[in-house]
């Protein structure tokens, strides 16, 4: 079930109602013309390569959401000739390594291209989780916001745009969904300072690590539980769109991670990286290796270090 950005409760204040007018009318958030895909320097590498034993009723989509890896990556790494057939007990190799954007402050960072949320507390990364984000036709807004609301067992007030969509498809038109298993917001809601948008749970775990919402950020059940109890109102939330991440380790190795960017389908990622690299001369990067990573954009950190000759 596709969802709107978040719950909109009846309120008495006319000013708040006015702010939500566009959302109630079904108008998606439009990104600023100044927003372009970015190259971000990472502060660390998280995750790892692991083996996963397929469980009963597992699908590649559920595995994708659990680990935050693309279905294409799982198929390629495991040489699956019939990806619609995975069996209980089958062992899959999963690479869920990812680069963590460098940040100078505590709070929440969401990278749209990575489809991942990071929560920093006490100067340390305490949570890294895959998320679901807005469809390319209804983008998750980039920018700097903060949390203004925490709510348990939220009610979903269905916006007019989705009511019209339900009617168009011959479905029962819902105006309000009470807390419970049918509520697409899950059990927890964290409202952002941009009206109508928020971070919340979901009743559709297979949607995680996809662009499937009407702008909100969906988290797996265990992740939203940890985040909800770990944050307070006023926590800063930075949402960025960085399909290219670069990390230089303490040993001097260079890693490049590149993701497809559905929000900027016409953007030349090679050109974006080239301009960024020119502004940082002297980086020990092997151009051929970097070119391959930019071409295939598999979403994993790849060592692109240039081999240094010995005397």
Q: Which residues, 6+ apart, have CB-to-CB distance to 107 below 8 Å?
A: 119, 120, 235, 236, 237, 238
200 in catalytic set: yes
- Ranges 26-35, 80-89, 173-182, 196-205: which has the least confidence: 26-35
Q: How many angstroms separate the CA atoms of 308 and 284, rounded?
A: 9
21 is catalytic: no
Q: Per-residue pLDDT averaged across 39-57, rounded?
A: 93
Q: What is the pLDDT of residues 49-106, one digit of tens each?
A: 999 999 998 889 889 988 999 888 899 899 998 877 899 999 999 999 999 999 889 9
DSSP structure class, residue 235:
-
Q: What is the DSSP letter of 202?
A: -
Q: What is the average pLDDT value for the chain, to the nearest integer?
A: 85
Written as one string, the DSSP assignment of 147-179 is EEEEEES--EE--HHHHHHHHHTTPPPPSEE-S
207, burial (CB in 10 Å: exposed 0-12, middle 13-18, buried 19+): buried
Q: Are 227 and 127 in contact (CB under 8 A)?
A: yes
Q: What's the whole-number mean pLDDT along residues 207-230?
A: 95
Let me know: does 171 contact 2? Beta carbons within 8 Å.
Answer: no
Question: Which of 21, 146, 169, 200 is labelled catalytic?
Answer: 200
Mean pLDDT along residues 250-271: 90
Catalytic, out of 98, 214, 216, 264: 216
Burial environment of residue 198 by CB neighbours within 10 A (0 to 12, 13 to 18, 19 or more): buried
* pLDDT on residue 3: 41
Cα 239 to Cα 111: distance, rounded to the nearest angstrom:
6
> Measured between alpha carbons, how far is 268 from 261 in angstroms, rounded to an integer?
10
Query: How far is it, in rounded angstroms, from Cα 83 to Cα 75?
Result: 6
Q: Is-contact 96 50, C-beta < 8 A?
A: yes
Closest CA to 68 of 257, 250, 214: 257
Q: How many residues does the chain have?
A: 311
């Amino acid at each position: 079930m596709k969802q709107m950005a978040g719950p909109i409760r009846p309120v008495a204040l006319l000013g708040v109602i006015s702010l939500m007018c566009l959302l109630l009318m079904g108008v998606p958030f439009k990104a600023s013309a100044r927003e372009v895909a970015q190259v971000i320097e990472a502060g660390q590498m998280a995750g790892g390569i692991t083996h996963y034993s397929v469980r009963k009723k597992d699908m590649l989509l559920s595995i994708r959401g659990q680990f935050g890896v693309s279905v294409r990556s799982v198929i390629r790494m495991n040489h699956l000739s019939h990806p619609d057939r995975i069996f209980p007990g089958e062992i899959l190799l999963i690479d869920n390594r990812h680069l963590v954007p460098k940040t100078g402050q505590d709070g929440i960072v969401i990278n749209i291209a990575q489809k991942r949320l990071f929560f920093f507390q006490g100067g340390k990364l305490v949570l890294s989780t895959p998320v679901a984000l807005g469809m390319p036709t209804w983008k998750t807004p980039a920018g700097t916001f903060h949390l203004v609301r925490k709510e348990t067992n939220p009610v979903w007030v269905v916006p007019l745009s989705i009511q019209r969509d339900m009617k168009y498809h011959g479905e029962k038109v819902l105006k309000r969904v009470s807390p419970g298993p049918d509520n697409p917001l899950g059990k927890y809601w964290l409202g952002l300072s941009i009206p109508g948008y928020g971070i919340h749970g979901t009743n559709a775990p297979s949607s995680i690590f996809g662009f499937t919402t009407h702008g909100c950020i969906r988290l797996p059940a265990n992740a939203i539980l940890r985040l909800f109890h770990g944050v307070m109102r006023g926590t800063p939330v930075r949402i960025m769109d960085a399909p290219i991440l670069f990390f230089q380790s303490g040993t001097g190795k260079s890693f490049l991670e590149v993701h497809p960017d559905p929000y900027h389908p016409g953007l030349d990622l090679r050109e974006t990286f080239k301009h960024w690299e020119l502004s940082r001369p002297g980086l020990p990067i092997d151009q051929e290796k970097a070119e391959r990573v930019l071409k295939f954009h598999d979403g994993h950190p790849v060592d692109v270090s240039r081999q240094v000759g010995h005397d």
